[in-house]
């Protein structure tokens, strides 16, 4: 039963990605991306990385996707953007090439060796962020704040 649920999450992830590539409507492609993000979060749960699953849902599903869907809905009038066939074909070609490179890397580097991986707890991640990596964490916060201020400046109305 657990294998079936895992394969359903895999199917959801791959199906959403393929739907993003094949969809001509940008809004529908965003919904396909949403299903891909949810599938990845489900696979994180099966891998024992509940923190990563929660972060995936909060950041990508809860933030990025909602922002993307609102951006699409507010920026287009009456009809949603339709992707041209040439751009779609290039996207499919790039996706197939990246998948082939990924498969070759997995085979060459023997990433599927089955060796056990050391599990790191959320407590260890939190301690590392607040002790040895606190400067990097603060710099990331400042950079994100600068990006937010810059985006607000660019998007402001010049009336």
Residue spans per domain, the chain: 1-120, 121-158
- Please provide residue 25's backbone torsions phi and psi, each rounded to the nearest 5 degrees: -95, 125
Per-residue pLDDT of the chain (159 residues; tens, 9 = 90+): 778 888 899 999 999 998 988 888 888 888 899 999 999 999 998 888 888 899 999 998 888 888 888 887 777 665 555 656 676 678 778 888 988 888 888 777 766 666 676 777 888 888 988 999 999 999 999 999 999 898 888 877 765
Q: Quote the tokens at residue 40.
A: 């990845």
Model's pTM, two decimal places?
Answer: 0.59
Total residues found in the chain within this entry:
159
* Fold observed for domain 1-120: 1.20.120
Residue carrying the six token digits 């696979």: 43
SS3 142: helix
Q: What angle, rounded to 10 degrees, do the helices at 65-75 and 26-46 form?
A: 180
């Amino acid at each position: 039963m657990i294998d079936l649920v895992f394969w359903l999450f895999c199917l959801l992830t791959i199906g959403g990605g393929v739907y993003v590539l094949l969809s001509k409507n940008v809004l529908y492609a965003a919904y396909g991306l949403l299903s891909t993000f949810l599938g990845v979060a489900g696979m994180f749960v099966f891998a024992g990385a509940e923190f990563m699953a929660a972060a995936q849902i909060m950041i990508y599903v809860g933030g990025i996707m909602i922002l993307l869907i609102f951006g699409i809905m507010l920026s287009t009038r009456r009809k949603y953007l339709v992707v041209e066939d040439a751009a779609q074909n290039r996207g499919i070609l790039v996706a197939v090439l990246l998948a082939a490179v990924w498969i070759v890397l997995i085979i060459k580097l023997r990433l599927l060796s089955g060796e056990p991986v050391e599990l790191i707890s959320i407590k260890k991640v939190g301690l590392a962020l607040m002790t040895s990596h606190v400067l990097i964490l603060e710099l990331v916060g400042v950079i994100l704040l600068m990006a937010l201020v810059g985006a607000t400046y660019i998007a402001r109305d010049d009336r």
